[in-house]
Structure 1
């Protein structure tokens, strides 16, 4: 007998939960038979209304187990109530909190006019090619009639929760800087190293300008400026041979007020300053995506704010610094908010010893319960 895959185990677990809670369930394969998207559904009393989508992703990033003090996939809980597990913050907590909140709403016979669909998608940690990115372009997604999305946010180290109404635009660029090859003992001109030095100075001067914006204005958050970082570097064949080219990969997250055409022109000017030819490749070049409004014109945001106000919880709208599946939903013109109910919690997503306090997790179920009771009836 063939051993069941981890993905199939996850799908079967979600089906089991759906049957236990009393939810409908469907499994779709928008791009690959190896990458299922699971949709659990609670049909509202007026299914003609646009539905609420609650998104979670099944995948997590890898671990360096030798740096963990607990087994990363055992969900160990210590004497302080900390649940240690990969995905405890990013974002298996949200998926299970959604279901916990719906279980309570059903138990209390709360009338929900709008239908709720809970998606568990693959590939979020690798930009969702066979997950949400593919699913939003399918007829199966269209049939859900989604009017609003709740997706993951990030922990807050203070008492104030964070709600994300937009994301910076992600570009990842490979620069291949050419130069004069030759013997490593010579002082040849126009080497790849010299040109790379020029390019790196341009990159890090720009990075410094963004750091200064943050330093000079305490009201700005990281999501309000543009980040740029060199993430990979390669080149050369042998220690005593000057390379014909050197490559670097740069990760850029552009603020919402950046003109993308002007930014690309600036990058082109950087390469023109180099002594020799520079080739540019864009493995990732996302288009601008308009943020979701967080004012009285957005009935869903009004419902979220009302729910949190009733619980005397403070929330701060922000631009997310990285990327989530919510971007694919916003690109369809559907409003989306990223919100993970984790306050007074260190940010540990992708980190060693990722954990979530048990009482914070349980409180999050109550928060989602109140939010859903509001936004499903606006």
Structure 2
């Protein structure tokens, strides 16, 4: 009983650090990192701490095998979390990219394979992610003539931006229809599409108008010369990136229309990066075989959002997103997100089995 209680106690202790992304750099990140360093050193791992970004420490623990010259296996995760509104929780929730570019990461021994975070699965199966949709955040800007609102001014900025939004929404409707379509097979060989199999488009910002007080009021009788729309697009591996970019260029081909990635987004992903899930990938065979020891089926999917694993795959490192949380409702970023302690403990057993099999691979 004590052996079962100890991991739960440690996990609950770690969860109490309020490592919310907005406030974490003021101290909680460092507290969580210090806790990890102490625990990892206690269990005999060598530990290093890097800070490629100020007040955002990265903890790297190394467990050397019998032959440290061989490539390693990376277990990647993060301790920062999205804001949690306490008033919406039944209980108080707090009762990698820059590092991958750093010299410290390059100095680490070669990495043969990596695990990153996954998602729960409400069924008995385990979900494993072999890739993810590529997120594109961009603005479309349209420019046109001004004039009085009482006239039929042609080719206005707002009419151009509305036309582009309509094209984007038409494409969005096609993708949603594909998601909800019957797979067309009565024998169960064709699986229903998941969100990661299609591309989503959402208009997340609209800006236009003529104002002299910072947007509090507008001169509604004056036609604005500029209109801007912001988009969040998640591009499925089933859609060629070049084809999507060509379609976006076509949407914006009218005179006075242009698009650009969000200026704060310094490193857009321009291609799909996936890890093979067939017998040609030895890591897939080992992973799937380890899960089958528990009699639990594995469902390989495309992650619908974004994780750090895309940057690992871009470096040529095979990576799976996997969290052994079957029979668990998906409550990612929702109020009262929780995990049953039996599922947590079983997950430790599953990961121990997977790692034994992966680390004992000698080919």
Q: Does 1:348 align with 2:316?
A: no
Q: List aligned pairs for 1:120-139, cutoff 5 A.
A: 132-139=96-103
Q: What's the counterpart of residue 112 of structure 1?
A: none
Q: Does 1:71 align with 2:92?
A: yes
Among candidates 118, 121, 125, match of residue 153 of structure 1: 118
Number of matched pairs? 316
Q: What's the counterpart of residue 254 of structure 1?
A: 235
The 3 A distance-change label for structure 1 pair 246 and 66 is farther
Among candidates 22, 25, 34, match of residue 47 of structure 2: 25
Q: Is the CA contact (8 Å cut-off) linking 2:53 and 2:98 kept in structure 1?
A: no
Q: What's the counterpart of residue 22 of structure 2?
A: none
**Counterpart of 1:307 in 2: which secondary structure?**
helix
CA distance in 2, matches of 1:247, 1:4: 35
Q: Is the CA contact (8 Å cut-off) linking 1:184 and 1:239 kept in structure 2?
A: no
Unaligned runs of 5+ in 2: 1-24, 184-190, 212-217
Q: What's the counterpart of residue 141 of structure 1?
A: 105
Q: Does 1:172 align with 2:140?
A: no
Among candidates 194, 203, 206, match of residue 221 of structure 1: 194
Q: List aligned pairs for 1:311-350, cutoff 5 A.
A: 311-350=294-333
**Distance apart, 1:49 and its partner CA:** 1.8
**Counterpart of 2:227 in 1: which secondary structure?**
strand
CA distance in 1, matches of 2:337, 2:150: 49
Among candidates 30, 38, 59, match of residue 80 of structure 2: 59
**Counterpart of 1:375 in 2: which secondary structure?**
helix
CA distance in 1, matches of 2:336, 2:147: 48
Runs (4+) of structure 1 exceeding 6 A deviation are none
The superposition leaves residues 122-152 of structure 1 with CA deviations (integer Å, 9 ceiling, x where unpaired) of xxxxxxxxxx222223332232321110001
**Counterpart of 2:252 in 1: which secondary structure?**
helix
Q: What's the counterpart of residue 289 of structure 2?
A: 306
CA distance in 1, matches of 2:280, 2:156: 57
**Distance apart, 1:185 and its partner CA:** 5.4
Q: What's the counterpart of residue 278 of structure 1?
A: 257
**Distance apart, 1:182 and its partner CA:** 4.2
Q: What's the counterpart of residue 36 of structure 1?
A: 57
CA distance in 2, matches of 1:287, 1:267: 14
**Distance apart, 1:217 and its partner CA:** 4.4
Superposed CA RMSD: 2.1
Q: What's the counterpart of residue 105 of structure 1?
A: none
The superposition leaves residues 163-199 of structure 1 with CA deviations (integer Å, 9 ceiling, x where unpaired) of 0111122211101222343455555433333222211
Q: What's the counterpart of residue 376 of structure 1?
A: 359
- What's the TM-score, normalizing by structure 1? 0.78
